[in-house]
Amino acid sequence: MTYDAVIVGTGPAGLSAALTLGRARRATLVIDGGPGRNAPSDGVHNFLSRDGIAPTDLRNIALEQLSAYATVEIREGLADRVTAVDGEFELVLAGGHRVRARRLLLATGVLDELPAIAGLAERWGHGVVHRPYCHGWERRDLPLAVLAPGNPPAPVQSRRRAVPGRQL
């Protein structure tokens, strides 16, 4: 079978795209690599009507809503490789299974590679946040430190101004 679209990633962007394609009755395969970057966070913010919802709750609601659309298939796993074949995309999934699609949406987000700082991983998403702008309201009036690789003073300064908390 050739799908109309394959979406790699089940964060808000990938699941929103799947909903749109499902409502348009497009044969859509969504590759679900598991919980995303915001999974350890206390809440999702800046998401209209769901501000503060736990990331796993948002994900579960989206997956439940998608179950109403027979043309949307959710498959757990990872995409290992993509190639162009005869004007289509061929994906090789983990385990070697191959699928084809006319369109491909990569909605994988990013993976945080944490530096080896004692206690950082345990506090990630709870007190140590990856996006001060998203979590700034909850951290308002608290001290803010920015951990950035190298020495990029201009971007760090602009990020500090965007946070609605006390400036250091």
Please provide the average confidence, as pLDDT, over all residues in the chain: 85
What 3-state class would DSSP assign to 87?
Answer: coil
Q: Is the pTM of this model over 0.75?
A: yes
Among residues 77, 73, 76, 106, the alpha carbon closest in space to that of 89 is found at: 106
- Weakest-pLDDT range from 28-32, 110-114, 155-159: 155-159
pLDDT (tens digit per residue) in 93-142: 999 999 999 999 999 988 778 888 898 888 887 778 777 777 778 878 88
How long a stretch of residues is the chain?
168
Q: Which residues contact 97 (CB under 8 A, 6 or more apart)?
A: 77
Q: Which residues contact 94 (CB under 8 A, 6 or more apart)?
A: 77, 78, 79, 80
Which stretch of DSSP H or E encloses residue 4? strand 2-8
Which one has a higher pLDDT value, 36 or 63? 63
Contact 5, 28 (CB under 8 A): yes
Contact 159, 131 (CB under 8 A): no
